[in-house]
Amino acid sequence: MNTIIYTRVSTDEQVEIGFSLCNQKKALTTYCEINKFTITKHYQHTNN
């Protein structure tokens, strides 16, 4: 199944406590690999 992933942080505080864009992408990529999803697009958003 083709899948689009979306990562987002709103504050520097989120990054500091482990919700960085990189950590989110790793978690989503792992989930997709386990469930045999193909990532076709990655959207990324920051508010800082």
The pLDDT tens digits of the residues spanning 1-37 come to 999 999 998 888 887 787 889 899 999 999 999 999 9
Question: Kindly report the CA angle at 43 between 5 and 18, in degrees rounded to 5?
Answer: 75
Q: What is the pTM of this model?
A: 0.82
Assign 48 a pLDDT band (cuts: 50, 70, 90).
low
Q: Can you read off the two tokens belonging to residue 29? A: 């990529």
Torsion region of 19: left, alpha or beta (phi above 0 gives left; psi -120 to 50 gives alpha): alpha
Residues near 38 by Cβ (< 8 Å), separated by ≥ 6? 1, 2, 3, 32
